[in-house]
Structure 1
Amino acid sequence: MTYDVIIVGAGPAGIFTALELVKKETKKKILIIEKGRSIDKRHCPKEHTKNCVYCKPYCHITTGFSGAGAFSDGKLSLSYEVGGELPDLIGTTLAEEFISYTDDIYLEFGADTKIEGIENSEAIKEIRRKSIEAGLKLVDCPIRHLGTEKAQEIYYEIQKYLLDAGVEISFNYLVKDLFIEDDTVKGVQAVSLKDQKEEQRILGEKVIVAAGRKGADWLKNMCTKHHIDHRAGTVDIGVRVEVRNEVMERVNNVLYESKLIGYPVPFRDKVRTFCQNPGGFVSQENYDDDLAIVNGHSYKDKKSDNTNLAILSSHNFLEPFNQPIQYGKKVSELVNMLGNGSILVQRYGDILEGKRTWEKELSQSNVSPTLPDAVAGDLTSAIPYRPMSNILNFIEAMNTVVPGFASRETLLYGPEVKFYSNKININEDFETNIKGLYCLGDSSGWTRGLMMASVMGVMMGRKLTE
């Protein structure tokens, strides 16, 4: 089997590479290889069981067409300042241009036309004033909210569009290795997860790796094996915070998502809010070896009484250490161990008092957990001192911006760790030191989130038609 373009991974970066090639009426023969299922066959049993059943061979929330994007809250950040470091590579002007172009594609496939966070300028000024008082920076970022259920519909329409246009998509196929000779990529080695027969060698002139956060560790192994230039990047260690909607009401109404950045004492590490979900639900994602990671969803129609958001502490390691992904996994494993394999939840006030949280105390609180199978316990026994101190000091600062945020009943869930920390060295065409091999999206270390990964895909498709 021989193709002009092989795309490894059907997340936003891979999807939008193929989509742009089709829109440019390419004659290239395109294959997308995806470990998971088509989007119409992705279903999380937890909707019925109420408890995670640890699906095999992979978690349907993180794996399949559109990647974790299909089961995320579906927020498109419309600012180049949010979503990773791609603007450092291509420039802010080009980043803004392609964000606008990519946003139009989402609208074409049914995204909500409403943009959050661009009205009520006086109220935004007041939130900014309080942020400055707290020593935090408020990042201006208009948001287009798709919603978890609507995101699935949009990506389903894109999936149909690609298939109707002749793009081949091999679902339930695992790329085990890259086929490289004389510093030039020749294709991939893949195997069907359905029957586990012999590996197939699939040849391709261009190979685009867009493996997402789920594939970051695999890509790191490929880099080591095939001498693909890369470097250790940032690892984000954090928690997901949940409060009553009443506490976040003003920020929710004015901004929908408040993107705040701080550098709290004593370490001055970068700490930021991420993925705010008004009326949302805390969720669980499973990675390799049943690693349980916390996340958050926000639906268009179904709402809870709570708002959740992530607080992430960024860490960069110096020589000789160069395994930030493994570091994040070890932290996550330790939290999972204390939760007996489940997500751990603890009240903010209990952390300050130096005690664990008990189930009975959760049942007596104003904040009722939206992740019902989270286990009450002690996050401070697992998350290292430095990120935990950063998180607690950041919450205290947030209380100036949002009074009540640092209530003793505020819930902290863990672990929330972002596995995009291996950074691939690429040129402006996104090509690695291996001829014909390109790396995109969150697994490349250059993007974070739906919009920037999609933008990188659009640009890749454009470059392949030039």
Structure 2
Amino acid sequence: MYDIIIIGSGVSSVFTMLKLDTHKKILAIDAGPSMENRLVQPSTTGFGGLGLSEGKYNFSPDLGGNLSSKIGENLVIKHLSEVEEIIDAFGGQSALTYQSHADIENDAFIQFLDCPTKHLGTALSKEVYNNIFAYLSTKIEFRFNNTVTNIEKTGDTFQITTSENNIFHAKKVIVATGSKKNPLLNKSFAKLGLTYQKTRVDIGFRIEMLSETFDPILQNNLEVKMRSGNLYSYCMNKFGRVIKRNLHGRVTPEGQNSREDKPSKNGGATF
């Protein structure tokens, strides 16, 4: 019997684990590969989820989902600060850190945002999450390559069944399966009275151009954050490059900062 079972070990689960009372008996189950395998074979699932990709953290309540409307902007800012402290504590102090300033005059269509950013890059992201895993694995049990197929509740106990025909029991369950829904759990959710809610999903496009083209906008900044209505820029790489990323069977462009390799003559922005 476990005190807590966590389904999924992506970014949200990792930071949840770090906040839990590790004196409790905790199990984390993930459909993806182990941390060891992720370090040698690219994957978007497994421990750390997409956190092992480019490792770019935008510490602004203006970007991302609508968490501010649920818990308030001040609490969001507090949690964002805690995330940065955790990253630094596990080896991320050398990350490229900068501030996007709203010091360019806004017009009727474009608003420039203040946004502190920490850009780890792929190599440092792997190092940080490997350090986190090394720490958590001494306190939490992990089961990888196990897809949860059923959740049942009897009295005060949950029964978890996986694709490997493993059965586990827990007093509490945290479901954090990420952006890729598990249809096998739909019946379980219905029985438990759990429902899906619509949320914003960002679909972006990437623009590559000569780095000098960015100069009138960037000026002396490494990056600026721009917003126009519900459209905004969330990634800008001066002298960076584009790499391919496989996400749920689709190949998507990913901006990589110049510290991963020698600088290119191109700059790129994702909107």
Q: Distance in 2 between matches of 1:273 and 1:219?
A: 35
Partner of 2:251: 292
Q: Distance in 1 between matches of 2:124 and 2:45?
A: 18
Q: Distance in 1 between matches of 2:60 and 2:136?
A: 27
Partner of 1:441: none
Partner of 2:122: 148
Residue 90 of structure 2 contacts residue 132 of structure 2 at CA under 8 Å; is this kept in 1? yes
Q: Distance in 2 between matches of 1:185 and 1:307?
A: 54
Q: Distance in 1 between matches of 2:11 and 2:268?
A: 24
**Alignment length, in residue pairs?**
267
Alignment partner of 1:200 is 2:172: no
Residue 111 of structure 1 contacts residue 154 of structure 1 at CA under 8 Å; is this kept in 2? yes
- Greater fraction of residues in strand: 2
Normalised by the size of structure 2, how large is the TM-score?
A: 0.85
**RMSD value, Cα:** 2.7
- Greater fraction of residues in helix: 1
Post-superposition Cα deviations, 1:408-434, rounded to whole Å, max 9, x if no partner, equal xxxxxxxxxxxxxxxxxxxxxxxxxxx
Task: Check 1:11–1:222 CA distance in 2 against 1; reply closer, same or farther (3 A cut).
Answer: farther
Partner of 2:64: 83
Q: Distance in 1 between matches of 2:160 and 2:175?
A: 10
Partner of 2:44: 62
User: 1:187: Cα distance to partner?
Assistant: 3.4
Partner of 1:106: 87
Q: Distance in 2 between matches of 1:171 and 1:79?
A: 32
SS at match of 1:143: strand
**Among 92, 100, 104, the residue aligned to 2:73:** 92
One-letter code aligned to 2:5: I
Q: Distance in 1 between matches of 2:268 and 2:259?
A: 15
**Among 151, 155, 159, the residue aligned to 1:178:** 151
Q: Distance in 2 between matches of 1:83 and 1:237?
A: 12
One-letter code aligned to 2:62: E
SS at match of 2:197: strand
Alignment partner of 1:157 is 2:116: no
One-letter code aligned to 2:133: Q
User: 1:229: Cα distance to partner?
Assistant: 2.7
Task: Check 1:217–1:250 CA distance in 2 against 1; reply closer, same or farther (3 A cut).
Answer: farther
Task: Check 1:237–1:16 CA distance in 2 against 1; reply closer, same or farther (3 A cut).
Answer: closer
Normalised by the size of structure 1, how large is the TM-score?
A: 0.52
The residue correspondences of 1:26-425 to structure 2 (distance < 5 A) are 26-42=22-38, 60-71=42-53, 73-112=54-93, 115-117=97-99, 125=103, 128-129=104-105, 132-133=106-107, 135-164=109-138, 166-181=139-154, 186-192=158-164, 199-213=165-179, 215-216=180-181, 218=183, 221=186, 225-226=190-191, 227-249=193-215, 251=217, 254-263=220-229, 270-278=230-238, 279-287=240-248, 290-298=249-257, 300-302=259-261, 303-311=263-271
Identity %: 29
Task: Check 1:255–1:173 CA distance in 2 against 1; reply closer, same or farther (3 A cut).
Answer: farther
One-letter code aligned to 2:132: I
User: 1:7: Cα distance to partner?
Assistant: 1.0
Task: Check 1:4–1:304 CA distance in 2 against 1; reply closer, same or farther (3 A cut).
Answer: farther
Task: Check 1:97–1:224 CA distance in 2 against 1; reply closer, same or farther (3 A cut).
Answer: closer
Post-superposition Cα deviations, 1:110-130, rounded to whole Å, max 9, x if no partner, equal 113553126xx6xx52xx21x
Residue 7 of structure 2 contacts residue 176 of structure 2 at CA under 8 Å; is this kept in 1? yes
Residue 150 of structure 2 contacts residue 188 of structure 2 at CA under 8 Å; is this kept in 1? no
Mind listing any 5+ residue stretches in structure 1 that lack a counterpart? 46-59, 193-198, 264-269, 312-466
Residue 35 of structure 1 contacts residue 64 of structure 1 at CA under 8 Å; is this kept in 2? yes
Residue 39 of structure 1 contacts residue 152 of structure 1 at CA under 8 Å; is this kept in 2? no
One-letter code aligned to 1:147: G
Residue 33 of structure 2 contacts residue 46 of structure 2 at CA under 8 Å; is this kept in 1? yes
User: 1:3: Cα distance to partner?
Assistant: 1.0
Higher relative contact order (CA 8 A, sep 6+): 1
Q: Distance in 2 between matches of 1:177 and 1:254?
A: 53
Larger Rg: 1
Residue 146 of structure 1 contacts residue 300 of structure 1 at CA under 8 Å; is this kept in 2? no
Q: Distance in 1 between matches of 2:256 and 2:79?
A: 26
SS at match of 1:81: coil
